[in-house]
Structure formats: structure tokens, C-alpha cells
Amino acid sequence: MNTFGTVIPDMPRTKQFNEEEVLNKAMELFWEKGFHATSMQDLVNHLGINRASIYDTYGGKNELFDKAFQNYRDISLASLKDIFDSESYVKRGFRKLFQMVIDDVKTKSCQKGCFVVNTITELVPGDEVLREKLRQNSENTEHLFASYIQNGIDDGNIKASKNPQSIAFALFTFFSGLRVMTKVEKNPKKLSEMVEVGLSILD
């Protein structure tokens, strides 16, 4: 109410931060430290916003992790699509994808490993809801792989006798394992040789 007795409605507060940028920061922190090792104070310090803003915008720690993890999966799937769209020859496309993983050996992101793989290791046992989300993520990725392989069959650069679904599962398993191996194996030549062995399934 102002001095004239008129009731002034509460004005919605304008957020002083970019929600997408903050979500990306949360993703990076959870990716680097893991869920359990990341405290609310860590989030406050890293995101640069107060606890009230975190709760108001994203929910608690669990909800923020869920949103950050979904953000990672969305970004990863979009990146895969971009790679495949840029290369019509299937074997070269998968080689490009695997080489990107190997190239990360020299970067900090490699030390963090794969957010999905890390989460499987840390949180999946006993968490059926998360297990289902990860199963769906695997299915989405395998479906993308299989569609790409089928395109190669249709174009004639993959043998028609190949089973797209079986090969997609095998290459997805290899892809996941490669991201784990880059955390311990630092020899790019050795990793590249392993990739060629994996890609032989497409011959």
C-alpha cells in the first residue's frame, strides 16, 4: 500500500542470471565432482547465485542434478547427430566420433570421464528411477547409431547383410568403454589402434 492508500501488487522479481548458463555450470560441477561430493555450498560458490535462487529456479540438489544430467544427455545426443550429419560415409563418421574421444585425452574434460558412465558407477545401484533414465538414454543413442548404419546400408557403403541394431549395440558398448579407457590409457596411438579394431565390425 502506498501513501495514498492504494494497494500495490507485488512485482515479480527479475532473475539476475541466465538460467541456461547456470544449468551448464551445475552440469560441469556435478560432472567433475559427482553427486555426493557436491554440496549445496559448492553449488552456491560455483554457480554464483544464492541458495534461495537455486531452490526457486531449479529445486533442491536432487532436482538440479536431474536437470543438469538431462542437459548433458541432450547436448551429447545433439553432438552425435551433428557428427553423423556431417559425414555420409558411416565408417568415417564413427571414426570421427571415436577420435574426438581420444583427442580429449590431452584436455581436462578427459579426466572427468563421461558424465553418464560416472553416474552409472556412482548412483545407479539402488536407484531404479535413474536406471530407467539411463536405459532410455542408451536406447536413444543406439537408435541414432542404428539409423546411421542403416543409412550406410541404403547408400551402399555398408554391406546389406549387416544387422544395424546389433552393430549399433556393439559400437555403443565400445563407445562407452572407450570413454572409460581414456581416463587411464594416455597413449593416443594405442587408443587409435583399438578404434580400428572396433570399426572392423563395419567391414
pLDDT for the residue 119: 79
pLDDT for the residue 121: 73
Percent of the chain with pLDDT over 70: 86
CB 152 within 8 A of CB 89: yes
Q: Is residue 35 part of a domain?
A: yes
- Rounded to an integer, the average pLDDT of 161-173 is 96
pTM: 0.79
Q: Residues 179, 115: one domain?
A: yes
Q: Residues 182, 134: one domain?
A: yes
Host domain of residue 65? 16-72
Q: Residues 180, 123: one domain?
A: yes
pLDDT for the residue 5: 52
Q: Is residue 140 part of a domain?
A: yes
Name which residue leads in pLDDT, 11 or 80.
80
Dump pLDDT digits (tens) for 138-165. Answer: 899 999 999 999 999 999 999 999 999 9
Q: Is residue 24 part of a domain?
A: yes
For the ranges 87-101, 108-122, 169-183, the lowest mean pLDDT is seen at 108-122
CATH at 30: 1.10.10.60
Name which residue leads in pLDDT, 144 or 116.
144
> Which DSSP state fits 89?
S
Is residue 192 predicted with pLDDT exceeding 60? yes
List the grid coordinates of 44.
Answer: 552456491
- Among the three residues 72, 95, 118, which one is the final residue of a domain in this structure? 72
Is residue 16 predicted with pLDDT exceeding 70? no
List the grid coordinates of 180.
Answer: 572409460
Residue 88 region, left (φ>0) first, then alpha (ψ -120 to 50), else beta?
A: alpha
Is residue 36 predicted with pLDDT exceeding 90? no
**Structural domain total, the chain:** 2
Q: Residues 68, 93: one domain?
A: no
CB 59 within 8 A of CB 43: no
